[in-house]
Chains A and B, each alone.
Chain A
Amino acid sequence: MSLAQALLTGDPGYLPSRREEAWRWTDLRGLIRVLPPPAPAFCGDLPLASFAAPFPTEEVVIVDGQGPTGLDIPAGETRRISLRLINAAAGAGHVGRVRVSLEAGARAVLLQTHEALAGGYVGETQIDISLGDGARLERLVLADDREDAVSVTISDVRLARGAVFNDAVLTTGARRQRLETRLTHAAGESEARLLGLYRLAGRRHADLTSLIEHESPGSASDQLVKGTVDGQSRAVFQGRILVRPGADRTDARMGHHALVLSDTAEVDAKPELEIYADDVSCAHGNTVGTLDDEALFYLRQRGMSEARARAFLTEAYVSAVLDGITDQDLQTVARAWLAREAAP
């Protein structure tokens, strides 16, 4: 069952439904009765990337699933790449797949933007990321989907020995949106940091699901997801870390923290750590709270309007996530994105 299968066959019977454990909070079967027609080939001019300014790079553009199939970075090379996934056709469906592979010792900084030129689209994109021995990838994903869109993005990440993957996913959600990460520490001594930040309002939905598998010894995973839900929005966090037999000396951390800003918003969280190895160090935390009234009054007493004070506190709440971005340009882009989202 997958959205891609349903789109390719036109058969809604393939849509994931809430009866499946992994999709119980992101029901697509109940939402989509008829699958949209496939997107026509794109002809026209693309707008310039809105975040290109502080980020000089080569650009890879995929429109409605069509475009280059892969990006290969040879051993020892360093690149800065902007990967633009553009939804262009209104009310159309598309399936895309792209490969990002770094050979041994290669380094890359990747800015992945999900952009929309029109609404009502239904799309699934899979990104296969592989990092060779000692390779290092830092990625920032800005998922700017439309409120009436259905969008599934799957990042499948494989880390070879000593590889380092530093990932940050920022989203405002969609009608239904799933940003899924499957990551495997395949050969040991690798490191992954998965950061997530969501700001949901209106009737938007975002689902950050991840499966991190430790198959080999001495690797580290550090996941931190923070977000806010307002209006009637709904956030889903499903994080699973699986430490397989033999993956000794694994270090795994997972944190998910959400602020609920309205009575009608909802957060569903399911953090799971499963450990079948020895000498594993693990920590996880999951909190769902509301804005602190004392803090809110403190800010208003100093002269900020209630709206400004709320925006101030929520921005402060989530911004800690961005501290984990090490590349300065990506850091700047991420902060600008958050500031735009926080403007009252």
Chain B
Amino acid sequence: MTALLEVRNLSARVADTQILSNLSLSLPAGEVHAIMGPNGAGKSTLSHVLTGKPGYEVTGGEARLDDQDLLALEPEARASRGVFLSFQYPVEIPGVPALTFLRTALNAQKKARGEAEVSAPDFLKLVRAKAAGLKMDFDMLKRALNVGFSGGEKKRMEILQMAVLAPRLAILDETDSGLDIDALRIVAEGVNALRAPDRSMLVITHYQRLLDYIRPDRVHVLAGGRIVASGGPELALDLEREGYDRFVDLAA
């Protein structure tokens, strides 16, 4: 059986700088994998290449979702096939209430999949339930998306969107940074609630603390644009103790 996400020898560059080189990663359905690695290693770049952000040039290798070529698809087509990215730096969208934005996104995905659109009342019910689960003030959703939100509020908004959009592959890029201790726990619970046999997650983080809550099935070390080591959850503890030095040497 092939994995839900299969990345093989992926190489990519941005503005003539090679960032990813021969990166391979296999993420089976139902599993949660953590990616750790030094600043500038290419973690966000990987998340951008997988989601199709313009400006990145794939120079080799492939990425397959459910054994289908992911890299050939437009970003919105990847989204409607279930690829979700919780952004390291969520974007502010002035003039658009978060609710309007989220409903438009959900219905765009449903339409692309040939499903019926969700009605306004059903949508509100869904969002209310998910927001309550994340202990979010519902009134915040009437404000312009992310405008004037604190760092932690933005990250919570990302997880709310994930809960509503119910992706197959969720990539969380440093969703834990900027969260206070309570928010970290709430967000982690939100993530755990989404664990499902047909859903996989790639959790990019710098901190063991998040992994105490979200017990990953595997931990990968990304350094110098490729995966240089993989192991069980204990690998994260090793990293916390020893730092990245020996892996950075490996990458060189």
Contacts and interface: CB of A to CB of B under 8 A. Distances in A.
Interface of A: 292-295, 297-306, 308-309, 312-313, 315-317, 319-320
Given A293-B55, A295-B91, A301-B87, 16 more contacts: A293-B54, A295-B92, A300-B52, A301-B52, A302-B108, A302-B161, A303-B76, A303-B79, A303-B105, A303-B112, A304-B104, A304-B108, A306-B74, A308-B104, A316-B94, A317-B94
Contact of A302 (B54, B74, B79): B79
Contacts of B102: 302
Contacts of B95: 315-317, 319-320
Given A292-B91, A297-B54, A300-B79, A305 B108 contact: yes
Secondary structure dominating the interface of A: helix
Most buried by A among B51, B75, B80: B75
Contacts of A295: 91-93
Contacts of B142: none
Contacts of B93: 295, 298-299, 313, 316
A215 B165 CA distance: 58
6 contacts: A293-B54, A300-B79, A301-B52, A315-B95, A317-B95, A319-B95
A303 B53 contact: no
B76 A298 contact: no
A298 B91 contact: yes
B108 to A, nearest CB: 4
Contacts of B80: 303
A153 to B, nearest CB: 28
A301 B108 contact: no
Nearest to A316: B95
Give the size range of B's interface with the partner: 20 to 34
B209 to A, nearest CB: 27
Interface of B: 51-55, 74-76, 78-80, 84-85, 87, 90-96, 101-102, 104-106, 108-109, 112, 161, 165
Contacts of B79: 300-303
A295 B105 CA distance: 13
B54 A303 contact: no
Nearest to A304: B108
Closest 7 CB pairs of A and B: A316-B95, A302-B105, A303-B109, A303-B79, A300-B75, A298-B91, A303-B108
A299 B94 CA distance: 13
Contact of B104 (A293, A298, A312, A319): A312
A297 B53 contact: yes
Nearest to B53: A297
Task: Pick the most buried of A292, A304, A308: most chain B CB atoms within 10 A of its CB.
Answer: A304
Contacts of A299: 93, 101, 105
Nearest to B144: A316
Contact of B91 (A294, A303, A304, A320): A294
A199 to B, nearest CB: 14
B123 to A, nearest CB: 14
Please indicate which of the listed interface residues A292, A299, A301 has the most CB atoms of chain B within 10 Å of its own CB.
Answer: A301
A297 B55 CA distance: 11
Contacts of A302: 79, 101-102, 105, 108-109, 161, 165
Nearest to B109: A303
Contact of B74 (A292, A294, A298, A300): A300
Contacts of A298: 87, 90-91, 93
Nearest to B83: A301
B72 to A, nearest CB: 15
A320 B106 CA distance: 24
Q: Which of B90, B105, B161 has the most CB of A within 10 A?
A: B105
A209 to B, nearest CB: 26
Residue among B101, B102, B106, B109 facing the most chain A CB atoms (10 A cut-off): B101
A319 B106 CA distance: 22
Contacts of A303: 76, 79-80, 105-106, 108-109, 112, 165
Nearest to B112: A303
Contact of B76 (A293, A300, A315, A320): A300
Contacts of A316: 93-96
Contact of B105 (A293, A304, A315): A304
